[in-house]
Amino acid sequence: MNASIAIYSGSIVIYWSSIVIGFGLAACLCLSLALFTANGGRGAGMLLLMPLALLFSIPLCRALHWYCHMEQYTGLFSALTDYSSGSYCLPGALLGVWLAALLVHKLGFAPSTGALLDAFAPGAALAVAFIRLSAIFGSTCRSKITFTSPLLRHLPLASAVTNSSGGVDYRFATFFVQFIVMLLLTLWLMKFYGRRAGWPMRSGSRTGNVARMFLLSYSAVEMVLDSTRYDSSFFPFNSFISIAQVFGALCVLGILVYYSVHAVKARGLRPYHFALWLGFLLTLGAAGFSEYMVQRHGSWYLGCYAVMSLSCYLMVLLVYQMYLRCCAKRNKGEQE
């Protein structure tokens, strides 16, 4: 492990990365709590959500990592009980947070799971940003793309990675870039929350849409950036498409299906629905093809990632369009 140690006292070792993650989670809690209570939610609900989310997410993230890297652990039990080493797959946290929100709602501390998740979404984006930032203090920011030009060998584009022979490679700073993107996403989600949380819908739940937008955007970001990593986690039966990419694609697809069903329910089947689905299929195909090409032709990364990024961005816009088709008009005379 190349992690930088912040505090070393007796048997207690605290890494800088852990401190940054701790700050990220604290910031997530503060932001979510503020948004939730400012909109009439009970603070107790959000305060309960955080520990429950950690309780569910950490083992789920670890279990997912164990599933992808079974040979790194002596068994599932040790993977779930010994956290002194090993790593995590972040998609597990999505399920963990959802389960926690469900439980908080069932316990009566929140009016709805969706409302809780809506308030949590901007905070979650902030937490992911911090988690990615923590990689700066370790060796996990590892990308396939190496930079040879001295001009490019600095943040935010590249970070130094020590290779096995002790030399230093300058590689694309995948996690630092994701940190910046997630910060921007946090800002956008805050704005979106302010404007659209609880927005009336012609069909579908009026809560949970901010959370869906977070999931949509985060998945799109992961689909691109996880591809640039050389230490992605793969399914044991397939070492071509990473688990984060598969989860991302499934999330985007799931959200599209959800909004499509409600858009059709609200307005009936319309030509623009077909146009959006066709557009989605095209962008999904383009993203998949770019991934295939970059795996086969590693040196084409610039073009491939440009196409993949554009495709994922368009994918998000198309799903967003579908979401808008489910929204109700705000009030009479607004268009005029």
> Segment 283-302, which members bind another protein (CB under 8 A)?
295-300
Stretch that binds another protein, among 79-87, 92-100, 220-228, 280-288 (CB under 8 A): 79-87
Residues 116-155 that bind another protein (CB under 8 A): 134-135, 137-140, 142, 144
Binding flag, residue 11, another protein (CB under 8 A): no
Closest separation between CB of residue 271 and another protein, Å?
10
User: Looking at 36-44, 148-156, 250-258, 281-289, which segment touches another protein (CB under 8 A)?
Assistant: 36-44
314, 325 Cβ separation under 8 angstroms: no
Question: Would you say 96 and 60 are in contact if contact means Cβ atoms under 8 Å apart?
Answer: yes
Among 130, 143, 320, 322, binds another protein (CB under 8 A): 320
90-109: contacts with another protein (CB under 8 A): 109
Backbone angles phi, psi at 239, to 5 degrees: -105, 25
Contacts with 141 (C-beta within 8 Å, 6 or more apart), sequence order: 135, 159, 161, 171, 173, 174, 175, 176
**Residue 86, exposed/middle/buried by CB under 10 A (0-12, 13-18, 19+)?**
middle
Closer by beta carbon to another protein, 150 or else 195 = 195
Long-range residue pairs from 111-114, CB within 8 A, at least 24 positions apart, any chain: 111/41, 112/205, 112/207, 112/208, 113/207, 113/208, 114/205, 114/206, 114/207, 114/208, 114/209, 114/211
Site pattern 161..190 for another protein (x: CB under 8 A)? --xxxxx----------------x--xx--
Q: Kindly tell me which of 110 and 225 has the beta carbon lying closer to another protein.
A: 110
Q: Which of 103, 173, 177, 197 binds another protein (CB under 8 A)?
A: 197
Q: In 3D, which of 268, 174, 186, 191 has the Cα closest to residue 227?
A: 174
Query: Under the criterion CB under 8 A, does residue 32 sit at the interface with another protein?
Result: no
Q: Tell me the Cα Rg of the chain.
A: 21
Q: Which of 75, 156, 191, 306 binds another protein (CB under 8 A)?
A: 191
Contact 159, 173 (CB under 8 A): yes
Asked if residue 321 binds another protein (CB under 8 A), the reply is yes
Nearest approach in angstroms of CB 92 to another protein is 12
Beta strand 158-162 pairing with 234-235:
unpaired
Site for another protein in 205-234 (CB under 8 A): 205-207, 230-233
The answer to whether 88 contacts another protein (rule: CB under 8 A) is: yes
Assign 169 to helix, strand or coil: strand
Rule CB under 8 A: is residue 19 a binding residue for another protein?
yes
Least distance between another protein and beta carbon 143 (Å):
11
Query: In the 8-state DSSP scheme, what is residue 29?
Result: H
2 vs 149 by CB, closer to another protein: 2
Q: Are strands 158-162 and 238-242 parallel, antiparallel or unpaired?
A: unpaired
Q: Does 266 bind another protein (CB under 8 A)?
A: yes
Contact between 200 and another protein by CB under 8 A: the answer reads yes
Among 267, 273, 282, 286, which residue interacts with another protein (rule: CB under 8 A)? 267
**Closest CB to another protein among 155 and 328?**
328
Please tell me the number of Cα atoms within 13 Å of 118 on its side-chain side: 28
| Identity of the residue, 39 or 253, whose beta carbon is nearer to another protein in the bound complex | 39
Angstrom distance (rounded) from CA 126 to CA 68:
26
Q: CB of 86: closest distance to another protein in angstroms?
A: 4
Of the pair 309, 321, the CB lying nearest another protein is at 321
